[in-house]
């Protein structure tokens, strides 16, 4: 109860809020697009591959996370760092991981990420023409946004993991890679008219690849910076640890300077 109860509460809470987060990313991307098409019902993504977002591309890794992730590993003799510090059980007693505030924070988090994904991709790839003279069209742009949503959701899950194993890494890689396989197969058959033979532009476009990498890497760093300052402002325990760490580094530098190991700054 003291080990698995606390861990299951943490993992299941993260599973729920993350599921809402990743769905808001790719669903609200279509909402932002609807603002420009007068809510006509025009879809932004290819309809068939759209259905596999939760089934294949992002669904399996979060199940693996909810089953196998451990914040504190149990040793062979049964001891665990969790048992030595009752402070870690506060998340359950105070319901910090599954509160209304945290739920709506993740919902808004997903909405904000979807807006940044949509507008950053749209701004970079809009009216882009390849060197061959072919335009980077509507469906190419939509699938670029869709790919960014997949990568961002999986990168966020990777960031949430406490113990990253080769199985988790391979699972994330295979689920993300399955998108490229499915997309390639769809471009070969006229049964998928939206993306039929558009691979000549989509796969070879430097704008598409650079846009996806730029968006995901930018959001990764912005996310870490915003999360750090959010915890500094609103999480007293994190703020206390941060200031104590800063004071310890200051003392260590002063001692090294006093002993002559570091030249004093003039």
Residue 248 above 50 pLDDT?
Answer: yes
Average pLDDT, the chain: 78
Contact 153, 22 (CB under 8 A): yes
Residue 263 above 50 pLDDT?
Answer: no
| Alpha-carbon distance values, 196 to 6, 48, 103 (Å) | 50, 13, 40
Task: With H, G, I as helix, E, B as strand and everything else as coil, classify residue 129.
Answer: strand
- Look up residue 140 and give its two tokens: 């190419």
Per-position b or e across 47-83, b if 16+ CB within 10 A of its CB: eebeebbeebbbebbbebbbeebbebeeeeeeebebe
Kind plus residue range of the DSSP H or E element containing 98: none
pLDDT for res 22: 92
Per-residue pLDDT of 161-176, as tens digits, reads: 887 788 888 998 999 8
Burial of 261 (0-12, 13-18, 19+ CB in 10 A): exposed
pLDDT for res 28: 92
115/121 Cα distance (integer angstroms): 10
Angle at which helices 138-160 and 59-68 pack, to 10 degrees? Answer: 0
Domain boundaries, the chain: 4-233, 235-266
Contact 95, 12 (CB under 8 A): no
Per-residue pLDDT of 53-107, as tens digits, reads: 998 899 889 998 888 877 776 665 555 666 566 666 676 677 777 888 888 988 9
Q: Residue 19: how many CB atoms within 10 A of its CB?
A: 17
The highest-confidence range among 7-11, 184-188, 251-255, by mean pLDDT, is 184-188
| Nearest C-alpha neighbor of 140 from the set 188, 191, 209 | 209
pLDDT for res 101: 85
């Amino acid at each position: 109860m003291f080990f698995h109860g606390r861990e299951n509460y943490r993992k299941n809470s993260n599973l729920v809020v993350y599921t809402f987060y990743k769905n808001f990313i790719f669903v609200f991307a279509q909402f932002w697009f609807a603002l420009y098409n007068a809510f006509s019902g025009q879809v932004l993504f290819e309809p068939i591959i759209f259905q596999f977002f939760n089934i294949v591309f992002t669904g399996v890794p979060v199940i693996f996370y909810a089953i196998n992730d451990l914040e504190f590993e149990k040793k062979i003799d049964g001891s665990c760092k969790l048992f030595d510090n009752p402070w870690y059980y506060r998340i359950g007693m105070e319901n910090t991981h599954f509160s209304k505030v945290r739920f709506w924070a993740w919902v808004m988090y997903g909405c904000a990420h979807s807006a940044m994904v949509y507008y950053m991709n749209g701004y970079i790839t809009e009216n882009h023409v390849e060197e061959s003279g072919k335009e980077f069209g509507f469906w190419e742009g939509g699938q670029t946004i869709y790919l960014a949503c997949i990568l961002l959701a999986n990168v966020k899950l990777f960031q949430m993991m406490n113990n990253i194993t080769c199985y988790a890494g391979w699972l994330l890689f295979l689920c993300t890679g399955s998108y490229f396989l499915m997309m390639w197969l769809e471009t070969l058959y006229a049964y998928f008219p939206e993306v039929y033979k558009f691979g000549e532009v989509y796969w070879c476009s430097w704008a598409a690849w650079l846009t996806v990498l730029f968006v995901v890497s930018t959001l990764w760093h912005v996310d870490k910076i915003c999360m750090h300052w959010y915890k500094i402002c609103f999480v007293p325990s994190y703020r206390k640890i941060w200031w104590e760490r800063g004071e310890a580094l200051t003392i260590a530098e002063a001692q090294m300077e006093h002993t002559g190991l570091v030249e004093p700054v003039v």
